[in-house]
A and B are shown apart, each in its own frame.
Chain A
Amino acid sequence: MPFMSDSAQAILCTSSLSYNYPGQADLHFPDISCMRGHHLLITGNSGVGKTTLLHLLSGLLHVQHGQVVIDGIRLGELNQKELDRFRGSHVGLVFQQPRFVSALSVVDNILAAQFFGTGSSSRTKAVVLLEELGIADKADKMTNHLSGGERQRLAIARALAAGPPLVFADEPTSSLDDANADMVYELLVKEAARNGATLVVVSHDQRLKSRFQYQIAL
């Protein structure tokens, strides 16, 4: 379906963002302004603060200095509980090494993400999501019975489960060969579009540089 973009509305916006870990030098980040549907690639070498930036943008770290605004909401103004809730409903996270709640089945992991993000869960919607990612047949299996590729797909499904407007992916292709890297990239973009989410990828993978129209270098 064609992606409706509210062109005046930035889905993600930062200004004067910097962070300090005790005993280390300050990390300063460039201002970001990301529009809906304009998938963004944030590049930089290891150690330059990509993970820190990701955590700041997703509300896993409290803003110390500067501002992060997602969908019109200033993260710095939320307390811990509000921040958790906000993250659950507005931000989907795809980590480099997919990890899940091992005591829950595949579909239950999706339901959990739905619950923590929106307060309710729907098995129907969960199964539809799994179908989109081609792993619906594994719905009732335990997560450690999945292959590497299937785990990646589940990670993407989980990130989209609560219907967030933003999906962050941390080094999604770095450890994959060309063919798989390609496949994962295509999957991310396709699913983000299908679910109405804007994709922000944080990665040092050179192969992605040619794919993204919008990029920021750290």
Chain B
Amino acid sequence: MLTVVMLTMGVALVSMLILVGEAFDESFKKNIKGIDMVVGAKGSPLQLILAAVYQIDNPTGNISRAEAQKLARNPMVANAIQLSFGDSYRGRRIIGTSHEYPALYAAGLAEGRLWESAFEATVGAQVAEEFGLKTGDTFFSAHGDDMNADVHEEHPFTVVGVFDKTGTVVDRLLLTAQESVWSVHDSPGDTATAANREITAMLIQFKNKMGMISLPRLVNQQTNMQAALPAIEINRLFELFGIGIAALRVLAIAIMLLGGISVFVSMLNSLKERAYEMAIIRSMGASRSQVFMMVMGEALLLGIAGTFLGLVVSHVGLAVLNSYADQQFGIAIDVWRLSSGEWILAAITIILCIFAAIIPALKTIRMDVSKVLSTYAQ
């Protein structure tokens, strides 16, 4: 039946919108857990967050390690993690940092161990899978994030471990000691010392919520660095996308309405064609309320069938797309359960079907049985 197909497609589309939206939402939230404030070079705070937390986009510049360490000693700071960017391996970012960084994402080890000395790297699950890296392999880094950038032939890295899949940015990174990043870019004769080392960013966790009030202002006004709050910047990002999200919502509602209208029209037509049969049923002794219940029952079944099929189509479709999404965005959608949004979708769909059927049902029970029977009797 065409109506079932329309209903199925409608439900499937809206369900996919819901699931993908939720997956993005969850992914964003997962990656900022434990990070209250990010400190980096002055510039766009959104860019700093995207670069330092989500590992998308380039950082705003570098900051002085000494200044950052001074900030880390502030009594309101519970935890401070240093990040040094600069290099990549075949497009995947290499970050010089401490063991606290993977700990932030509760990243366990699938094999090997965490890096200790310079040029030892522990790689994320996705990176290992993409390039077939395992413990003991060596590789060369390249400057910048470009896959075709200059390769630094002089300093090979050794893979000493591979992380478990975390569903966070760690999967797509190669982590190493900060020394590795600094050495690679030192030329012989450089007099860089511990005093004037630079880092890219620092991830800070407050001792308590009071930190949010005073620390960012302190950093922005009294230092050469800027402080960005992930929660605020991400909200701002979603606001920018707001129009897109609102448009999607309108689309979803339009699809559902269309489905409802389709059920309405289809029931109207079908009952018109079956008028004589309905009259026969009345002639057999069925009361009007019994016939009404029959029609509503049909609509209910239609709604349930369409909803069930729609959810099946959506989940199967997403399962197919999952491998692609996972690779590109590190977002995996759990297709084996229904999100709360989908339960609401199911309820709305069924209620919509029932409502769509009310008028056709009323028309059916108001029919003049005698007239219908005589009309078709010839």
Contacts and interface: CB of A to CB of B under 8 A. Distances in A.
Contacts of B283: 58, 60, 87, 93
A176 to B, nearest CB: 15
Contacts of B103: none
Interface in B250-305: 276-277, 280-290
Given A99-B280, A102-B277, A51 B285 contact: no
Given A61-B370, A95-B377, A97-B377, A81 B288 contact: yes
A88 B373 CA distance: 16
A60 B288 contact: no
- The binding surface of chain B is classed by DSSP as helix
B282 A170 contact: no
B276 A116 contact: no
Given A96-B377, A102-B277, A170-B377, A113 B287 contact: no
A116 B288 CA distance: 11
A79 to B, nearest CB: 10
Given A60-B370, A81-B289, A99-B277, A113 B284 contact: yes
Nearest to B286: A116
Given A51-B377, A60-B370, A95-B373, A89 B285 contact: yes
Nearest to B369: A60
A69 B322 CA distance: 72
Contact of B376 (A61, A88, A99): A99
A102 B278 CA distance: 11
Nearest to B365: A80
Contact of B284 (A61, A81, A88, A170): A88
B374 interface: yes
Contacts of A68: none
Contacts of B281: 101, 112, 116
Contact of B277 (A85, A88, A93, A101): A101
Given A51-B377, A99-B276, A102-B277, A88 B285 contact: yes
Interface of B: 276-277, 280-290, 369-370, 373-374, 376-378
Given A60-B370, A95-B377, 7 more contacts: A55-B373, A80-B288, A84-B288, A95-B373, A97-B377, A112-B284, A116-B290
